[in-house]
Amino acid sequence: MVILRKPLHVIAAIAIAMLPLFSFANVSVDSVKNESHEVHASAEVHHETAAEPQDKKAKVDAYIQHHLQDSYDFTFFSDEKEGKHYGFSLPVILLDNGLKVFSSSKFHHGETVAEVDGNFYKLYHGKIYKTDAAGTISYDEHHHPTNAKPLDFSITKNVVSMLFASALLLLMFVGLAKSYKKGPIPTGFGRILEPLILFIRDEIAIPNIGEKKYRKFMGYLLTVFFLIWLLNLLGMTPLGINVTGNIAVTICLALFTYFITQFSANKDYWMHIFWMPGVPVPMKIILMPIEILGTLTKPFALLIRLFANITAGHVVIMSLIAMIFVGKNLAADLPISLGLTLFISIIEVLVAFLQAFIFTMLSSLFIGMAVQDHHHDDHH
Amino acid sequence: MEGTLNLIGAGLVVIGAGLGLGKIGGSAMDAIARQPEAAGKIQTAMIIIAALLEGLAFAALILGK
Protein backbone atom coordinates (compact mmCIF):
# COMPACT_ATOMS: atom_id res chain seq x y z
CA MET A 1 0.00 0.00 0.00
CA VAL A 2 2.80 2.34 0.97
CA ILE A 3 4.69 1.53 -2.19
CA LEU A 4 1.54 2.06 -4.19
CA ARG A 5 0.79 5.38 -2.63
CA LYS A 6 4.14 6.97 -3.26
CA PRO A 7 4.17 6.68 -7.05
CA LEU A 8 0.63 8.04 -6.99
CA HIS A 9 1.90 11.09 -5.15
CA VAL A 10 4.73 11.47 -7.62
CA ILE A 11 2.34 11.19 -10.56
CA ALA A 12 0.00 13.72 -9.00
CA ALA A 13 2.88 16.10 -8.33
CA ILE A 14 4.14 15.75 -11.90
CA ALA A 15 0.65 16.30 -13.26
CA ILE A 16 0.29 19.48 -11.22
CA ALA A 17 3.75 20.62 -12.25
CA MET A 18 2.82 20.04 -15.89
CA LEU A 19 -0.32 22.18 -15.63
CA PRO A 20 1.43 25.36 -16.77
CA LEU A 21 2.72 23.53 -19.84
CA PHE A 22 -0.80 22.40 -20.73
CA SER A 23 -1.99 25.93 -20.37
CA PHE A 24 0.79 27.25 -22.61
CA ALA A 25 -0.08 24.62 -25.17
CA ASN A 26 -3.70 25.63 -25.05
CA VAL A 27 -2.86 29.28 -25.45
CA SER A 28 -0.76 28.61 -28.55
CA VAL A 29 -3.55 26.51 -30.06
CA ASP A 30 -5.91 29.28 -29.20
CA SER A 31 -3.76 31.95 -30.75
CA VAL A 32 -3.40 29.89 -33.92
CA LYS A 33 -7.17 29.65 -34.06
CA ASN A 34 -7.44 33.34 -33.44
CA GLU A 35 -4.99 34.10 -36.22
CA SER A 36 -6.86 32.00 -38.73
CA HIS A 37 -10.06 33.58 -37.54
CA GLU A 38 -8.64 37.04 -37.87
CA VAL A 39 -7.39 36.40 -41.37
CA HIS A 40 -10.92 35.66 -42.46
CA ALA A 41 -12.53 38.36 -40.43
CA SER A 42 -12.78 41.97 -41.45
CA ALA A 43 -10.58 44.70 -40.04
CA GLU A 44 -13.39 45.98 -37.90
CA VAL A 45 -13.77 42.71 -36.00
CA HIS A 46 -10.01 42.58 -35.53
CA HIS A 47 -10.14 46.00 -33.98
CA GLU A 48 -12.89 44.92 -31.62
CA THR A 49 -11.05 41.82 -30.38
CA ALA A 50 -7.96 43.92 -29.77
CA ALA A 51 -9.90 46.54 -27.88
CA GLU A 52 -11.75 44.14 -25.60
CA PRO A 53 -8.90 42.95 -23.32
CA GLN A 54 -7.71 46.52 -22.92
CA ASP A 55 -11.19 47.47 -21.79
CA LYS A 56 -11.27 44.54 -19.37
CA LYS A 57 -7.90 45.52 -17.94
CA ALA A 58 -9.08 49.08 -17.38
CA LYS A 59 -12.21 47.71 -15.70
CA VAL A 60 -10.15 45.49 -13.39
CA ASP A 61 -7.90 48.43 -12.60
CA ALA A 62 -10.86 50.61 -11.73
CA TYR A 63 -12.35 47.83 -9.61
CA ILE A 64 -9.15 47.41 -7.59
CA GLN A 65 -8.82 51.17 -7.13
CA HIS A 66 -12.40 51.30 -5.95
CA HIS A 67 -11.81 48.48 -3.49
CA LEU A 68 -8.79 50.20 -1.96
CA GLN A 69 -10.77 53.35 -1.24
CA ASP A 70 -13.30 54.02 1.44
CA SER A 71 -16.89 54.28 0.25
CA TYR A 72 -20.25 55.54 1.44
CA ASP A 73 -22.05 52.25 0.95
CA PHE A 74 -21.29 48.64 1.70
CA THR A 75 -21.45 46.81 -1.62
CA PHE A 76 -20.83 43.08 -1.58
CA PHE A 77 -21.11 42.59 -5.33
CA SER A 78 -22.83 44.30 -8.21
CA ASP A 79 -24.52 43.18 -11.37
CA GLU A 80 -23.12 45.25 -14.16
CA LYS A 81 -25.65 44.33 -16.84
CA GLU A 82 -28.63 45.34 -14.76
CA GLY A 83 -26.74 48.12 -12.99
CA LYS A 84 -27.72 46.66 -9.62
CA HIS A 85 -25.55 46.83 -6.51
CA TYR A 86 -26.08 44.29 -3.77
CA GLY A 87 -25.25 45.60 -0.33
CA PHE A 88 -26.57 48.24 2.01
CA SER A 89 -26.40 52.00 2.19
CA LEU A 90 -24.78 53.79 5.10
CA PRO A 91 -25.68 57.08 6.73
CA VAL A 92 -23.99 60.24 5.44
CA ILE A 93 -23.43 62.90 8.09
CA LEU A 94 -22.38 66.33 6.85
CA LEU A 95 -21.67 69.51 8.79
CA ASP A 96 -22.67 72.26 6.39
CA ASN A 97 -24.67 75.10 7.95
CA GLY A 98 -26.08 72.66 10.44
CA LEU A 99 -26.10 68.91 10.64
CA LYS A 100 -27.30 67.07 7.52
CA VAL A 101 -28.02 63.38 7.93
CA PHE A 102 -29.25 61.28 5.04
CA SER A 103 -28.80 57.83 3.56
CA SER A 104 -26.11 57.29 0.96
CA SER A 105 -28.74 55.58 -1.20
CA LYS A 106 -29.66 59.13 -2.30
CA PHE A 107 -26.45 59.27 -4.32
CA HIS A 108 -27.39 56.12 -6.25
CA HIS A 109 -23.69 55.16 -6.32
CA GLY A 110 -22.66 58.56 -7.61
CA GLU A 111 -25.13 58.59 -10.46
CA THR A 112 -27.52 61.21 -9.12
CA VAL A 113 -27.41 64.41 -7.08
CA ALA A 114 -28.67 64.13 -3.52
CA GLU A 115 -30.98 66.88 -2.35
CA VAL A 116 -31.19 67.62 1.39
CA ASP A 117 -33.10 70.64 2.77
CA GLY A 118 -32.52 72.62 -0.40
CA ASN A 119 -28.81 71.79 -0.61
CA PHE A 120 -27.42 69.60 -3.36
CA TYR A 121 -24.54 67.19 -2.92
CA LYS A 122 -22.79 65.08 -5.49
CA LEU A 123 -20.45 62.14 -5.12
CA TYR A 124 -17.40 62.66 -7.32
CA HIS A 125 -14.43 60.27 -7.18
CA GLY A 126 -15.41 59.08 -3.73
CA LYS A 127 -15.73 62.56 -2.24
CA ILE A 128 -18.84 64.61 -1.51
CA TYR A 129 -19.06 68.06 -3.12
CA LYS A 130 -21.68 70.74 -2.79
CA THR A 131 -23.23 71.52 -6.16
CA ASP A 132 -26.27 73.14 -7.75
CA ALA A 133 -29.40 71.24 -8.69
CA ALA A 134 -27.91 70.00 -11.96
CA GLY A 135 -24.84 68.63 -10.22
CA THR A 136 -22.26 70.63 -12.18
CA ILE A 137 -18.72 70.43 -10.92
CA SER A 138 -16.27 73.15 -11.90
CA TYR A 139 -12.56 72.48 -12.22
CA ASP A 140 -9.37 74.49 -11.88
CA GLU A 141 -6.50 74.22 -14.37
CA HIS A 142 -5.19 70.99 -12.78
CA HIS A 143 -8.62 69.37 -13.19
CA HIS A 144 -9.27 69.45 -9.46
CA PRO A 145 -12.87 70.23 -8.49
CA THR A 146 -13.30 73.70 -7.00
CA ASN A 147 -16.71 73.03 -5.48
CA ALA A 148 -17.09 73.50 -1.74
CA LYS A 149 -16.53 70.37 0.33
CA PRO A 150 -18.73 70.09 3.43
CA LEU A 151 -17.22 68.71 6.63
CA ASP A 152 -17.76 64.98 6.43
CA PHE A 153 -18.48 62.83 9.49
CA SER A 154 -20.17 60.01 7.61
CA ILE A 155 -20.37 56.45 8.84
CA THR A 156 -18.42 55.04 5.88
CA LYS A 157 -17.55 51.45 5.07
CA ASN A 158 -14.32 51.68 7.05
CA VAL A 159 -16.08 53.13 10.07
CA VAL A 160 -18.64 50.32 9.98
CA SER A 161 -15.85 47.73 9.69
CA MET A 162 -14.01 49.24 12.64
CA LEU A 163 -17.19 49.37 14.73
CA PHE A 164 -17.82 45.73 13.85
CA ALA A 165 -14.27 44.77 14.82
CA SER A 166 -14.53 46.73 18.07
CA ALA A 167 -17.82 45.04 18.93
CA LEU A 168 -16.25 41.66 18.21
CA LEU A 169 -13.24 42.47 20.40
CA LEU A 170 -15.49 43.69 23.18
CA LEU A 171 -17.56 40.51 22.98
CA MET A 172 -14.47 38.28 23.10
CA PHE A 173 -12.63 40.07 25.88
CA VAL A 174 -15.60 40.77 28.12
CA GLY A 175 -16.31 37.04 27.87
CA LEU A 176 -12.73 36.29 28.85
CA ALA A 177 -12.81 38.72 31.77
CA LYS A 178 -16.07 37.23 33.03
CA SER A 179 -14.73 33.70 32.88
CA TYR A 180 -11.97 34.66 35.34
CA LYS A 181 -14.63 35.27 37.97
CA LYS A 182 -15.47 31.57 37.94
CA GLY A 183 -11.93 30.37 38.36
CA PRO A 184 -8.32 30.85 37.33
CA ILE A 185 -8.71 28.94 34.07
CA PRO A 186 -10.64 30.68 31.28
CA THR A 187 -13.42 28.82 29.54
CA GLY A 188 -14.57 28.66 25.95
CA PHE A 189 -13.01 31.05 23.44
CA GLY A 190 -10.97 32.69 26.20
CA ARG A 191 -8.63 29.71 26.07
CA ILE A 192 -7.42 30.95 22.69
CA LEU A 193 -7.10 34.54 23.84
CA GLU A 194 -5.22 33.99 27.09
CA PRO A 195 -1.99 32.66 25.52
CA LEU A 196 -2.04 35.54 23.04
CA ILE A 197 -2.35 38.08 25.83
CA LEU A 198 0.46 36.37 27.72
CA PHE A 199 2.51 36.38 24.53
CA ILE A 200 2.08 40.15 24.20
CA ARG A 201 3.00 40.61 27.83
CA ASP A 202 5.94 38.23 28.10
CA GLU A 203 7.46 38.51 24.64
CA ILE A 204 6.69 42.10 23.68
CA ALA A 205 5.90 44.36 26.63
CA ILE A 206 8.22 43.14 29.39
CA PRO A 207 11.44 42.73 27.33
CA ASN A 208 11.01 46.12 25.64
CA ILE A 209 9.50 48.36 28.29
CA GLY A 210 10.79 46.74 31.46
CA GLU A 211 9.38 44.77 34.35
CA LYS A 212 8.40 47.82 36.40
CA LYS A 213 6.73 50.07 33.87
CA TYR A 214 5.07 47.77 31.36
CA ARG A 215 1.71 47.60 33.12
CA LYS A 216 0.62 51.12 32.20
CA PHE A 217 1.02 50.42 28.46
CA MET A 218 -0.49 46.93 28.31
CA GLY A 219 -3.94 48.33 27.55
CA TYR A 220 -2.76 50.19 24.49
CA LEU A 221 -0.51 47.40 23.22
CA LEU A 222 -3.18 44.73 23.55
CA THR A 223 -5.81 46.94 21.92
CA VAL A 224 -3.63 47.88 18.99
CA PHE A 225 -2.46 44.29 18.46
CA PHE A 226 -5.89 42.71 18.46
CA LEU A 227 -7.52 45.53 16.50
CA ILE A 228 -4.93 45.43 13.72
CA TRP A 229 -4.92 41.66 13.61
CA LEU A 230 -8.69 41.38 13.48
CA LEU A 231 -8.97 44.10 10.82
CA ASN A 232 -6.24 42.44 8.74
CA LEU A 233 -8.08 39.13 8.97
CA LEU A 234 -11.40 40.78 8.11
CA GLY A 235 -9.63 42.13 5.04
CA MET A 236 -9.02 38.52 4.01
CA THR A 237 -12.74 37.71 4.03
CA PRO A 238 -14.75 38.24 0.83
CA LEU A 239 -16.67 41.11 2.44
CA GLY A 240 -14.41 43.61 0.72
CA ILE A 241 -13.18 45.27 3.90
CA ASN A 242 -9.93 47.21 3.61
CA VAL A 243 -9.37 49.18 6.78
CA THR A 244 -5.71 48.73 7.67
CA GLY A 245 -4.90 49.34 4.01
CA ASN A 246 -6.30 52.84 4.36
CA ILE A 247 -3.61 55.39 5.07
CA ALA A 248 -5.84 57.57 7.24
CA VAL A 249 -6.39 54.67 9.63
CA THR A 250 -2.70 53.80 9.87
CA ILE A 251 -1.78 57.47 10.33
CA CYS A 252 -4.17 57.59 13.25
CA LEU A 253 -2.75 54.43 14.82
CA ALA A 254 0.80 55.71 14.41
CA LEU A 255 -0.20 59.05 15.97
CA PHE A 256 -1.46 57.19 19.03
CA THR A 257 1.95 55.54 19.42
CA TYR A 258 3.69 58.88 18.81
CA PHE A 259 1.72 60.76 21.45
CA ILE A 260 1.90 57.96 24.02
CA THR A 261 5.66 57.84 23.50
CA GLN A 262 6.13 61.59 23.80
CA PHE A 263 3.84 62.09 26.79
CA SER A 264 5.24 59.21 28.80
CA ALA A 265 8.87 60.12 28.07
CA ASN A 266 11.14 60.90 31.00
CA LYS A 267 13.91 63.44 31.52
CA ASP A 268 16.61 61.19 30.10
CA TYR A 269 14.75 60.80 26.81
CA TRP A 270 14.42 64.51 26.27
CA MET A 271 18.04 65.07 27.25
CA HIS A 272 19.13 62.53 24.64
CA ILE A 273 17.12 64.38 22.03
CA PHE A 274 18.02 68.00 22.77
CA TRP A 275 21.44 67.77 24.42
CA MET A 276 23.02 64.37 23.81
CA PRO A 277 25.26 63.64 26.80
CA GLY A 278 28.83 62.54 26.31
CA VAL A 279 29.56 64.11 22.92
CA PRO A 280 31.34 67.41 22.12
CA VAL A 281 29.24 70.59 21.93
CA PRO A 282 29.32 71.06 18.12
CA MET A 283 28.19 67.45 17.78
CA LYS A 284 25.32 68.11 20.21
CA ILE A 285 24.11 70.94 17.99
CA ILE A 286 24.26 68.74 14.89
CA LEU A 287 22.54 65.86 16.62
CA MET A 288 19.61 67.89 17.92
CA PRO A 289 17.69 68.31 14.62
CA ILE A 290 18.51 64.75 13.63
CA GLU A 291 17.09 63.40 16.88
CA ILE A 292 13.99 65.58 16.59
CA LEU A 293 13.44 64.28 13.06
CA GLY A 294 14.06 60.78 14.37
CA THR A 295 11.06 61.00 16.69
CA LEU A 296 8.89 61.72 13.64
CA THR A 297 10.36 59.15 11.27
CA LYS A 298 9.68 56.29 13.69
CA PRO A 299 5.88 56.59 13.61
CA PHE A 300 6.10 57.45 9.90
CA ALA A 301 7.79 54.10 9.24
CA LEU A 302 5.09 52.42 11.34
CA LEU A 303 2.22 53.87 9.34
CA ILE A 304 3.83 53.31 5.93
CA ARG A 305 4.69 49.70 6.74
CA LEU A 306 1.21 48.67 7.78
CA PHE A 307 -0.49 50.60 4.96
CA ALA A 308 1.85 49.36 2.22
CA ASN A 309 1.83 45.74 3.35
CA ILE A 310 -1.92 45.42 3.48
CA THR A 311 -2.50 47.41 0.29
CA ALA A 312 0.08 45.34 -1.55
CA GLY A 313 -1.54 42.13 -0.32
CA HIS A 314 -5.00 43.20 -1.46
CA VAL A 315 -3.75 44.36 -4.85
CA VAL A 316 -1.85 41.13 -5.46
CA ILE A 317 -4.81 38.92 -4.53
CA MET A 318 -7.26 40.92 -6.62
CA SER A 319 -4.87 41.00 -9.59
CA LEU A 320 -4.44 37.24 -9.42
CA ILE A 321 -8.19 36.72 -9.33
CA ALA A 322 -8.48 39.18 -12.23
CA MET A 323 -6.34 36.82 -14.34
CA ILE A 324 -9.48 34.74 -14.80
CA PHE A 325 -11.30 37.62 -16.46
CA VAL A 326 -8.43 39.12 -18.43
CA GLY A 327 -7.02 35.88 -19.83
CA LYS A 328 -8.28 34.35 -23.04
CA ASN A 329 -8.48 30.73 -22.00
CA LEU A 330 -10.64 30.13 -18.96
CA ALA A 331 -9.77 26.43 -18.52
CA ALA A 332 -6.07 27.23 -18.35
CA ASP A 333 -6.27 30.43 -16.35
CA LEU A 334 -8.68 29.23 -13.69
CA PRO A 335 -6.43 26.66 -11.93
CA ILE A 336 -3.36 28.89 -12.15
CA SER A 337 -5.21 31.90 -10.84
CA LEU A 338 -6.92 29.99 -8.03
CA GLY A 339 -3.71 28.20 -7.08
CA LEU A 340 -1.70 31.39 -6.89
CA THR A 341 -4.49 33.13 -5.01
CA LEU A 342 -4.59 30.33 -2.48
CA PHE A 343 -0.82 30.52 -2.08
CA ILE A 344 -0.79 34.29 -1.61
CA SER A 345 -3.80 34.12 0.71
CA ILE A 346 -1.95 31.72 3.00
CA ILE A 347 1.01 34.11 3.03
CA GLU A 348 -1.38 36.98 3.72
CA VAL A 349 -2.79 35.21 6.78
CA LEU A 350 0.79 35.10 8.06
CA VAL A 351 1.34 38.75 7.09
CA ALA A 352 -1.86 39.74 8.90
CA PHE A 353 -0.42 38.38 12.14
CA LEU A 354 3.12 39.59 11.43
CA GLN A 355 2.07 43.18 10.78
CA ALA A 356 0.00 43.34 13.96
CA PHE A 357 2.96 41.84 15.84
CA ILE A 358 5.48 44.25 14.28
CA PHE A 359 3.29 47.27 14.97
CA THR A 360 2.91 46.27 18.63
CA MET A 361 6.56 45.29 18.91
CA LEU A 362 7.87 48.58 17.51
CA SER A 363 5.34 50.60 19.50
CA SER A 364 6.54 48.99 22.70
CA LEU A 365 10.16 49.46 21.57
CA PHE A 366 9.60 53.20 21.08
CA ILE A 367 7.74 53.49 24.38
CA GLY A 368 10.49 51.51 26.07
CA MET A 369 13.13 53.88 24.70
CA ALA A 370 11.23 56.81 26.14
CA VAL A 371 10.62 55.43 29.63
CA GLN A 372 13.71 53.37 30.41
CA ASP A 373 16.16 54.49 33.07
CA HIS A 374 19.62 55.22 31.80
CA HIS A 375 22.55 54.12 33.87
CA HIS A 376 25.38 56.19 32.54
CA ASP A 377 27.60 57.72 35.17
CA ASP A 378 31.06 57.16 33.76
CA HIS A 379 30.82 55.94 30.18
CA HIS A 380 29.00 57.68 27.26
CA MET B 1 9.44 58.01 -19.99
CA GLU B 2 8.74 59.01 -16.44
CA GLY B 3 6.77 55.82 -15.89
CA THR B 4 9.71 53.73 -17.10
CA LEU B 5 12.10 55.57 -14.79
CA ASN B 6 9.72 54.98 -11.90
CA LEU B 7 9.68 51.26 -12.69
CA ILE B 8 13.48 51.16 -12.82
CA GLY B 9 13.59 52.94 -9.47
CA ALA B 10 11.11 50.46 -8.01
CA GLY B 11 13.31 47.63 -9.29
CA LEU B 12 16.37 49.17 -7.65
CA VAL B 13 14.50 49.52 -4.37
CA VAL B 14 13.45 45.87 -4.52
CA ILE B 15 17.03 44.79 -5.30
CA GLY B 16 18.30 46.76 -2.32
CA ALA B 17 15.63 45.41 0.00
CA GLY B 18 16.31 41.88 -1.24
CA LEU B 19 20.02 42.20 -0.55
CA GLY B 20 19.30 43.56 2.91
CA LEU B 21 16.79 40.85 3.75
CA GLY B 22 19.16 38.18 2.46
CA LYS B 23 21.93 39.46 4.65
CA ILE B 24 19.69 39.63 7.72
CA GLY B 25 18.30 36.15 7.09
CA GLY B 26 21.73 34.65 6.41
CA SER B 27 23.26 36.16 9.51
CA ALA B 28 20.33 35.01 11.61
CA MET B 29 20.71 31.47 10.23
CA ASP B 30 24.42 31.50 11.11
CA ALA B 31 23.67 32.79 14.58
CA ILE B 32 20.95 30.21 15.21
CA ALA B 33 23.26 27.44 14.00
CA ARG B 34 25.91 28.56 16.46
CA GLN B 35 23.56 29.05 19.38
CA PRO B 36 20.35 27.10 18.85
CA GLU B 37 19.22 27.87 22.40
CA ALA B 38 19.05 31.62 21.57
CA ALA B 39 16.90 31.01 18.47
CA GLY B 40 13.88 32.82 19.89
CA LYS B 41 15.72 36.02 20.70
CA ILE B 42 17.55 35.99 17.38
CA GLN B 43 14.29 35.54 15.50
CA THR B 44 12.68 38.47 17.28
CA ALA B 45 15.64 40.72 16.56
CA MET B 46 15.69 39.51 12.96
CA ILE B 47 12.01 40.32 12.47
CA ILE B 48 12.45 43.81 13.92
CA ILE B 49 15.39 44.61 11.63
CA ALA B 50 13.56 43.12 8.66
CA ALA B 51 10.50 45.24 9.47
CA LEU B 52 12.61 48.41 9.67
CA LEU B 53 14.17 47.60 6.32
CA GLU B 54 10.82 46.81 4.82
CA GLY B 55 9.43 50.10 6.06
CA LEU B 56 12.28 51.91 4.33
CA ALA B 57 11.69 50.01 1.09
CA PHE B 58 7.95 50.70 1.17
CA ALA B 59 8.56 54.36 1.90
CA ALA B 60 10.77 54.55 -1.21
CA LEU B 61 8.20 52.72 -3.32
CA ILE B 62 5.32 54.92 -2.21
CA LEU B 63 7.24 58.21 -2.44
CA GLY B 64 8.44 57.19 -5.89
CA LYS B 65 4.94 56.51 -7.17
Inter-chain contact B59–A354, Cβ cutoff 8 Å? no
Give dist(CA A151, CA A95) in Å, integer. Answer: 5
Task: Please indicate whether, in this complex, the C-beta atoms of B48 and A358 are within 8 angstroms of each other.
Answer: yes
Question: Which residues in chain A are contacts of B44 at CB distance < 8 A?
Answer: 203, 361
What is the domain partition of chain B in residue ranges?
Answer: 1-19+39-65
Cα separation, A61 vs A307, whole angstroms: 19
pLDDT of residue A33: 39
3-state secondary structure at position A124: strand
CA distance A96 to chain B (A): 34
Residues of B in contact with A247 (CB under 8 A): none
Sign of CA dihedral A28, A31, A33, A39: negative
CA angle, corner A52, sides to A46 and A58, nearest 5? 145
Does A305 contact B54 at a Cβ distance shorter than 8 Å?
A: yes
Q: How close is the nearest chain B Cα to the Cα of A372, in Å?
A: 19
Nearest Cβ partner for B48 among A302, A308, A361:
A361
d(CA A149, CA A228): 31
Residue-level pLDDT at A1: 43
Nearest to B55 among A305, A361, A365 (CB): A305
Q: What is the pLDDT of residue A30?
A: 39
Does the distance separating the beta carbons of B47 and A361 come in below 8 Å? yes
pLDDT of residue A3: 47
Optimal mutation site among B21, B52, B58, interface A, most CBs of chain A within 10 A: B58
C-beta of residue A63 within 8 angstroms of C-beta of residue A318: yes
pLDDT at A92: 83
Query: E strands along chain A, which residues?
Result: 73-79, 84-89, 91-95, 99-103, 114-116, 119-124, 127-131, 151-152
Mean pLDDT by 10 residues, chain A (380 residues): 53 55 38 41 44 73 83 77 76 80 76 75 77 74 76 86 93 90 84 91 90 91 94 88 90 94 89 85 88 89 89 88 83 88 90 92 91 62
Using the Cβ of B47 and the Cβ atoms of chain A, whether some distance falls under 8 Å is answered with: yes
Q: Do B59 and A362 touch (CB under 8 A)?
A: no
Q: Which residues of A touch B48 (CB under 8 A)?
A: 358, 361-362, 365
DSSP assignment of A193-228 equals: HHHHHHHIIIIIIHHHH-TTTTHHHHHHHHHHHHHH
Indicate if the pLDDT at residue B34 is higher than 80.
Answer: yes
Residue A88 phi, psi dihedral angles, 5° rounding: -135, 150
What span, in angstroms and rounded, lies between the C-alpha atoms of A171 and A111?
Answer: 39
Closest residue to A304, CB basis, from B44, B48, B59 = B59
ipTM of the complex, rounded to two decimals: 0.73
Q: What residues have CB less than 8 Å from A229, skipping those under 6 apart?
A: A352, A353, A356
b/e string for A4-18 if b means 16 or more Cβ within 10 A?
eeeeeeeeeeeeeee
For residue A25, the model assigns a pLDDT of: 38
pLDDT score, position A184: 85
Q: Domain spans of chain A?
A: 2-40, 78-155, 158-371
A362 vs B51, B56, B58: nearest CB:
B51
CA–CA separation, A242 vs A229, rounded Å? 12
Per-residue confidence (pLDDT) for residue B25, from 0 to 100? 93
